[in-house]
């Protein structure tokens, strides 16, 4: 038996590339986006009462990671990328039906649009459903997960003088907390867990409409090298 679903909306996100997106929501509070609802879900009465909610669950599709054949075992980054466990013991993007879930902060509501923060969603992500976060039911005292029992320790993020000036200037232009966003995302150490790059190797990603470049002067720290507006 098969079922079909249709998106209720699409996310316009600060994350234009998959690389450097935090692996869980809320790890980068400065990460912002807008959920644009599609008819008929963009009508105001569909959102009635949501103004009383601080956080929402989003059910969405990993639209750039859909696979024809299901994976029963995966290598989660949290375990170093070299240990295989069952797919249902992880939150890896390789899902049987491509479905993900994230709890995000609801900043404000406009007609047909939800402004969000703390997101971990790629630009263009199709959203299948919205559900309110319910503290007494969703926060379970004594719950455990021995595969991921604490947030990963952040890596140190440093700036060159020029890159910090660039990021601060672009933040003013965008009206977004770009410096904080870069620091929060890079502190999660986006490189593959098994990779120890040479200091001369540069990494990069696109946030909003700027290109961010960095390197690892040593395995336990990052230095941001440049923050430049992306070519149109």
- For residue range 3-12, what is the model confidence (pLDDT) as tens digits? 899 999 999 9
pLDDT, position 80: 65
3-state secondary structure of 159: strand
pLDDT at site 231 = 83
**Would you write out the chain's pLDDT as a tens digit for each of its 232 residues?**
888 999 999 999 999 999 999 989 999 999 999 999 999 999 999 999 999 999 999 999 999 887 778 889 988 776 666 788 999 998 888 898 999 999 999 999 999 999 999 999 999 999 999 999 999 999 999 999 988 888 888 999 999 999 999 999 999 999 999 999 999 999 999 987 667 777 789 999 999 999 999 999 998 899 999 999 998 7
**Alpha-carbon distances, residue 120 vs 53, 116, 181 (angstroms):** 19, 10, 12
- Angle (CA) 88-95-65 rounded to 5° is 150
Write down all domains in the chain, each with its CATH number in brackets: 9-138 (2.40.30.70), 156-229 (3.30.2310)
DSSP 188: T
Question: What does the pLDDT look like over 63-76, one tens digit per residue?
Answer: 988 777 888 998 87
Q: How far, in Å, are 125, 198, 225 from residue 110 at the CA level?
A: 19, 47, 37
Question: What's the confidence (pLDDT) of residue 106?
Answer: 98
* C-beta neighbour count of 217 within 10 angstroms: 12
Phi, psi values for residue 102, rounded to 5°? -145, 140
Residue 196: predicted pLDDT? 72
């Amino acid at each position: 038996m098969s079922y079909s679903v249709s998106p209720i909306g699409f996310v316009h996100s600060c994350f234009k590339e998959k690389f450097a997106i935090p692996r869980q929501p809320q790890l980068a509070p400065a990460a912002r986006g807008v959920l644009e609802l599609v008819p008929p879900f963009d009508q105001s009465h569909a959102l009635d009462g949501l103004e009383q909610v601080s956080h929402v669950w989003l059910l969405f599709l990993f639209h750039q990671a859909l696979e024809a054949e299901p994976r029963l075992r995966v290598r989660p980054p949290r375990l170093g990328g070299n240990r295989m466990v069952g797919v249902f013991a992880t939150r890896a993007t390789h899902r049987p039906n491509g479905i993900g879930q994230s709890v995000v902060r609801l900043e404000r509501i406009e007609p047909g649009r939800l402004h969000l923060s703390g997101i971990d969603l790629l630009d263009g992500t199709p959203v299948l459903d919205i559900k309110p976060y319910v503290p007494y039911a969703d926060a379970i005292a004594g719950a455990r997960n021995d595969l991921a029992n604490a947030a990963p320790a952040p890596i140190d993020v440093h700036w060159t003088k020029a890159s910090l000036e660039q990021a601060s200037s672009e933040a003013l232009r965008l009206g977004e907390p770009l410096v904080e966003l870069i620091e929060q995302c890079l502190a999660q150490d986006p490189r593959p867990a098994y990779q120890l790059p040479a200091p001369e190797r540069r990494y990069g990603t696109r946030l909003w409409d700027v290109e961010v470049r960095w390197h690892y002067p040593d395995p336990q720290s990052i230095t941001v090298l440049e923050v430049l507006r992306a070519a149109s």
